[in-house]
Amino acid sequence: MAYYTDLTLNDRAALHSNARSPTASSPRLAYLLSVYPAVSHTFFLREIIALRARGFQIHTASVNPPDRSFSQLPQEEQQEAAATFYLKPPRDTSRLRTASAWLSRLLSILAALLAHPAVALRGLRAVAAMPRASVAWSLRLAYLAEALLLGRWMRRHSLHHLHVHFGGPVSSVALLAARAWQIPWSLTLHGPGEFHNETPTWLREKILSATRIFAISHFTRSQILRIAPEAEKKTVILRLGVHPDLLAQPLPHPGDPARPLEILCTGRLVSAKGQRILLQAFAALTSRNPLRLVFIGDGPDQPALQSLAASLGLAAQVEWTGALDHASTLARVARADLFVLASFAEGLPVALMEAMALGVPCVSTFIAGIPELIENGKNGLLVPASDHAALAAAIQRLIDDPSLRQRLAERARQTVAEEYNLERNLDPLADHLRDLCALSSHRLAHHA
């Protein structure tokens, strides 16, 4: 099956035949994402679907095509991909179709330049105004080209507001679209990666430009106010969360004592996730305990991590599943005895929330927003990041004390149910976006 740009009108209608019927008063907005759908960012999908269920007309745009071929996407994600506008053409199409898609985008950019010279001029001024210690001019102009496509698409669909997640290149496109097309927009920041390169990514300019900033944790909000203290009044904390269906599942039964205890870690295989530290801690534990370690995810560090596991004599005890879809990941997490995230850099990981909701005892690190989710010794264990000895000691403590594992798991599930229920946490986001859409519609009507 092809992507949205290759579908007939009948195909598109069939894909959306079960969608909630929009009304004239429905808030209309665009969601711009870097990669959509994405196996590592399922919360985007859950958020968008939940907002549509609350009466929003949300149109999705993505800078990049999905991270898997269309045939590999679950049906729900196939429907999302089919209805998403991609600034860059999908990869799993024929050369002729890809060339045609690039030509179509080039013609759209030229049409925008010819039909809206004032828009193009505002965009060029915005590009020139960015800090000198920033990205190269070639990349700035590429962002501007994508911004012209985005704004033209939004205007064709009469979308009143733009919302974006993350402060990297995807929001650079959004910032230029907002300034060129005079589009009101809002931004959700996660951290901490967004705060590591704040000047090259124009983060201060984005924070000041956006109508409202949503922070997923107090840590995230603190970094926003460090960069732009004058944004305090428009920056609000809105927690992420897990679908309440996870909380409805029964707690897992105690594992079979005859099999090795299973430790599981999910996430991209990159240095920031601390998987090397976890392997070193695991090596210190295997002489005392029958254990198995499972990594779910893929990434550039996989060869080096597999080499380290082999050098530590762990090759037979470590499983590398690669990236799994969300349902398969949750099924594996629910079977695990312990969930460990040894990260050096995180915002507030949904992966931890999901493991806690499924009743799996968690061990993680004292970084960023994680201590806002896990209270050490109460609903999980935390250790200093990069300390493999402390990590091994925390894991050993849980291995030795099944009753502690049970107490932590029960308290963790209670924490998620009370503070990180996605359905409940999306209500204030819906209220904010409803207000922003109404304000945007008023401004557009005033300028018409």
Taking only the tens place, the pLDDT of each residue in 343-387 is 999 889 999 999 999 999 999 999 999 999 999 999 999 999 999
446 pLDDT band, cuts 50/70/90, is low
411 close to 379: Cβ distance less than 8 angstroms: yes
pLDDT greater than 90 at residue 418: yes
Q: Is 237 found in the same domain as 248?
A: no
Which three-class secondary structure string do you get for the chain?
Answer: CCCHHHCCHHHHHHHCCCCCCCCCCCCEEEEEEEECCCCCCHHHHHHHHHHHHCCCEEEEEEEECCCCCHHHCCHHHHHHHHCCEECCCCCCCCHHHHHHHHHHHHHHHHHHHHHCHHHHHHHHHHHHHCCCCCCCHHHHHHHHHHHHHHHHHHHHCCCCCEEEECCCHHHHHHHHHHHHHCCCEEEEECCCHHHCCCCCCCHHHHHHHCCEEEECCHHHHHHHHHHCHHHHHHEEECCCCECHHHHHCCCCCCCCCCCCEEEEEECCCCHHHCHHHHHHHHHHHCCCCCEEEEEEECCCCHHHHHHHHHHCCCHHHEEEEECCCHHHHHHHHHHCCEEECCCCCCCCCHHHHHHHHCCCCEEEECCCCHHHHCCECCCEEEECCCCHHHHHHHHHHHHHCHHHHHHHHHHHHHHHHHHCEHHHHHHHHHHHHHHHHHHHHHHHHHHC
Q: What is the CATH number of the domain that holds 121?
A: 3.40.50.2000
Q: Is 307 found in the same domain as 158?
A: no
Range with the poorest average pLDDT among 99-103, 311-315, 444-448: 444-448
Q: Is 276 found in the same domain as 200?
A: no
Q: Is 294 found in the same domain as 216?
A: no
217 close to 372: Cβ distance less than 8 angstroms: yes
Q: Which domain holds residue 369?
A: 244-420
Closest CA to 203 of 241, 174, 232, 180: 174
Predicted pLDDT at 252: 60
Beta-bridged to residue 295, according to DSSP, are: 265, 320
CA distance linking residue 279 with residue 199, whole number of Å: 35
For the record, the structure tokens of 107 come out as 């013609």
Residue type, 368: A
Predicted pLDDT at 352: 96
Predicted pLDDT at 5: 37
Q: Is 318 found in the same domain as 237?
A: no
Crossing angle (nearest 10°) for helices 95-115 and 137-156: 80
CA distance linking residue 3 with residue 24, whole number of Å: 28
Q: Which residue has the higher pLDDT, 47 or 112?
A: 47
Note the pTM of the prediction, 2 decimals: 0.85
Closest CA to 13 of 79, 61, 60: 79
279 close to 249: Cβ distance less than 8 angstroms: no
Domain count within the chain: 2
Taking only the tens place, the pLDDT of each residue in 208-246 is 999 999 999 999 999 999 999 999 999 999 999 998 888
For the record, the structure tokens of 272 come out as 């920031």
Phi-psi bin for 313: left (phi > 0), alpha (psi -120 to 50), beta? left
pLDDT greater than 80 at residue 407: yes
Q: Is 318 found in the same domain as 236?
A: no
101 pLDDT band, cuts 50/70/90, is confident
pLDDT greater than 90 at residue 138: no
The per-residue b/e assignment along 164-181, b for 16 or more CB within 10 angstroms, e otherwise, is bbbbebbbbbbbbbbbbb
CA distance linking residue 233 with residue 401, whole number of Å: 46
| Range among 70-84, 196-210, 404-418 rated most confident | 404-418
CA distance linking residue 239 with residue 241, whole number of Å: 6
Dihedral (Cα; 166, 168, 171, 177), 10-degree rounding = -170
Q: Is 273 found in the same domain as 159?
A: no
Q: Is 254 found in the same domain as 228?
A: no
Taking only the tens place, the pLDDT of each residue in 270-284 is 999 999 999 999 999
Taking only the tens place, the pLDDT of each residue in 294-331 is 999 999 999 999 999 999 999 999 999 999 988 899 99
Per cent of the chain over pLDDT 70 is 90
Mean pLDDT of 30-48: 90
Cα–Cα distance list, 262 to 289, 290, 370, 410 (Å) = 11, 9, 23, 19
Predicted pLDDT at 16: 39
Q: Which residue has the higher pLDDT, 101 or 219?
A: 219
Q: Would you say how long the chain is, in residues?
A: 448
Q: Is 51 found in the same domain as 176?
A: yes
Predicted pLDDT at 193: 84
Q: Is 261 found in the same domain as 152?
A: no
Q: Is 229 found in the same domain as 278?
A: no
Q: Is 344 found in the same domain as 324?
A: yes
Crossing angle (nearest 10°) for helices 302-311 and 275-285: 20
pLDDT greater than 90 at residue 17: no
